[in-house]
Amino acid sequence: MIDRFKPYVPPFFLRNGHFQTIYPTLFRTVTGVDYCRERIVLADGDFLDLDWSRAGSRQLGIVSHGLEGNARRDYVRGMVRALNQSGIDALAWNYRGCSGVPNNTLRMYHNGAIDDLHTVIQHALTTGSYEAVFLIGFSLGGNLSLLYLGKQAESVPQAVKAAVGFSVPCDLTDASIALEKRVNGLYMKRFLILLHDKIKAKQHLYPEALDDTGYARMKTFRQFDDRYTAPIHGFKDAQDYWRQCSCRPWIEAIRVPAVIVNALDDPFLSGGCYPEAECAQNHLVTLVTPRWGGHVGFMALNSSGRYWSEDFAMAFIGGF
């Protein structure tokens, strides 16, 4: 089924993974998206902020953003606009602490927070408005969506018809190793600065659990996850967190059609992030590996302003 989709072949001057990764983040502006925000309260007293963009459809695309992203990021807004232009409602949800307001609990968002995604899906379905739901995830959001579909295969609502993941770190260990490379130092530094802001914003609420003394000496995700993510969320250490929260071991269990789109020049991915063997064992899951695209890039030059990833996602979910 994937064979019928137009492959990604950008102009020669866009054939650079770092350019594809950086340029859209700094310079893309997506217009024509108007959100209506809804806050839902969770069972543990926390909350999630959901940004809706409705087209009056019985179909819904749930868009999950990447690490330190949010619903306002242009890669999310671009997908939301594409959904609406295809006559599909869109729900871009913000993870805990990502909507511009610190969340209430010590718990933060992470790659394994599939219970929050399930809550969002169930909330959308309780409105009675939707017959079909599609999951679209970027980077961390792609891993989260696929982990949910595999790990919770028996409890995924029947309304969930398909899923698309772009730039998915299917193996968190290998993705972390890739980001530790010297050439990726600027990306790593930026992520750590943004994550530090999250820690500082919550530190005064939980001084007994959070301490940023010596934070500047941290240089890798392993150090951050060892110090914060793992102990806060019940994992033994960073390696245990990565092992339990990588979608790669769960791909064979997925029971809805899904496609993983990971560019071969993605500077954030390596090794097991391209799960060829696992996808070969599940006819419902397809791995697409364009030669170019970077990390959450896939730029296109056209009058519509739509990126190849948006057209690809619409073509894929349009078959259901």
Residues with a known catalytic role:
139, 266, 295
Query: Which residues are CB-neighbours of 182 under 8 A, at least 6 positions away?
Result: none
**Which residues pair with residue 59 across a beta bridge?**
132
Q: How many whole angstroms from its chain centre is CA 174?
A: 17
Sheet containing 59-64: which strands, arranged edge to edge? 36-41, 47-53, 89-94, 59-64, 132-138, 160-166, 258-261, 285-288
**Which residues pair with residue 69 across a beta bridge?**
none
Neighbours of 55 (CB within 10 A): 15
Reference 298, options 119, 187, 138; nearest CA is: 138
Place of tokens 């995700």: 221
Query: Which residues are CB-neighbours of 80 under 8 A, at least 6 positions away?
Result: 33, 53, 61, 63, 71, 90, 92
